[in-house]
Every structure is written in C-alpha cells, then in structure tokens.
Structure 1
C-alpha cells in the first residue's frame, strides 16, 4: 500500500511537471526572462500594443520592460512572476478583457517610470497616485497615445 501511494505520488508529480514544462515550452516561457519586446507578443492580445509601440516615439528609447516593470532587480522579477502567473491563468481560462487593460498596480508602475525617465520636465509636478485622490492627474491622462494606442 505504501509503495502504491509512492508510485501514484511520483506519477502525479511527474504529470504536473510534464504538463507545466509543456505549457512553458508552448508559451515560449524562456522569452519572458528577457527584456526583448517580442516576448510580449507571444500572446495574441498584445499584438496591437506591440504594433502601435513600433510606430511610437518611445520605440527608440524604451522597451516594454522599461515602462511596465519596476527598475529594481527584486521589483522587476517579482512583478514579472506575479504578472506572468495572472496572465497564464487569464489566458488559459479566457477571462481577460479585450482590449487588454492594465491593473491599478501596473498603471502605478508605469506612472513611476514615466516620472523617472522624464524627471527634468516633470519634477515640479506631483504626478504620484494618491496625492490628490483616486482620480489624480497622471501622465497617460494627457499622453495616452505616447507608448502605444490610447491607454488611460
């Protein structure tokens, strides 16, 4: 009986690892460990964002991770892990909005990165979430088409 439980447990673990490995392979999981913008179009819902970014003024200066990931080592990889898991579940179950919408946390990261890159121009402005209230002025309120198509 003990041997049977061990065999079933090892087989179950092997099955889960095999399915996870296959999903990682099919989803081009290794590409997400890079900073290459092409990784973002592994998922079909990001193709419009990628195409519009290629025609934007930011294409020459910033890639997806420059705007959408924290600029600290731990922050970047923690955000990639949480976002990756959330995206995997959403795309596997088909439960995501089209066009895709950034979460409030991801919008806050993008705002911090806007301010960080454009600090000489915006340092006198208080463009930080929560300073005046939930509907604070933010970069994309006026410049929603800068990185790619109208994002708010």
Structure 2
C-alpha cells in the first residue's frame, strides 16, 4: 500500500509537471508579448499590434495590466489568466473577444497615464463642460471610442487578419 501511495503521488506530480510544460505556464511570468499567443486565439491582435505605432513603446502588459503596484499587476494577471484559461478550455470566447469592465478600466487608466500631457487639456475641459456620456469613465468616454484603430487596427473578428498579416512565431 505504501508503494502504491508513493506511485500515486509521483503520477500526480508528473501530470502536473507535464501540464506546466505543455501550457508554457512559466512563460506567463514574463512581459514578452509573444506570451499572449501561446495558446490564445490572439494571433490577429498580436500581429496588428506589431504593425502599430505602440509597438516601439508599449507591450501588452503595459496597456492591459495595472502599473501602480507589483501586487495589483500579479493579481490582475492571475484573474485574467484564469478567465482566459476557462474560455480557451471550454471554447466560450466566440469570434469576437469582449473586454471585461475591469480590463477596460485598466486600459483607460494606462492610456491617460502614458499620454497625460496630451490629455491634460481634455481632462480640464471635461470638468468644465458637463456633457458626459459615461460618468464611470474619466472624460466621459473611453480613449478607444475615438481612437479605434490603436493599437489593434479596426479588425475585430478572430477569423480574419487585417492586411493579411501572418504571425511568425519562432
């Protein structure tokens, strides 16, 4: 019985190690944008970002994760990773990905943080003029409502790639 218990523990450890290896789980600890296309249907988003003006200055985590503290960044990455793994495992994502409210707030905050000199006048004007469409968002609108093409182009369907780009993974 003792050997059977040891064998069972070794099998569980082996299966777990294989899962970590096959899913490339340790790569998610990095900030490399190629991590986003490990197992996701994110090839189009990755490719359009590669051809955008943001490529030289911002990676996926710069826009999609909080930048205030390391703990918030890790917690958001864990929450998003869990949601993504469930969606990918059960194929519940469909052809058009939808951003969560939490992720939209992070991206909006990061846009404003990076472009604070450009948006400072817009923030001042939004305080003066009460024509606000969405009171939960600074300035009443999300940045991508006007800047739709940044950084992922205008294409939104996962089955097509804008400008027939192709992802080259090495």
Normalising by structure 2, we get a TM-score of 0.73
Deviations 1:69-122 (A, max 9, x none): 001201110011111111111111111132222111111100000000001111
Runs of 5+ unmatched residues, structure 2: 127-132, 157-170
The answer (yes or no) to whether the contact 1:56–1:148 under 8 Å persists in 2 is: yes
Q: What aligned pairs does 1:3-152 form with structure 2 within 5 A after superposition?
A: 7=5, 11=8, 16-71=12-67, 72-126=69-123, 132=135, 136-150=140-154
Q: Which structure exhibits the higher relative contact order, with contacts defined as CA atoms closer than 8 Å and separated by 6 or more residues?
A: 2
Give the TM-score normalised by structure 1: 0.81
Distance in 2, Cα, partners of 1:14 & 1:95:
33
Q: Runs of 5+ in structure 1 lacking a partner?
A: none
Deviation at 1:18, TM superposition (A): 3.8
* Partner SS for 1:109: helix
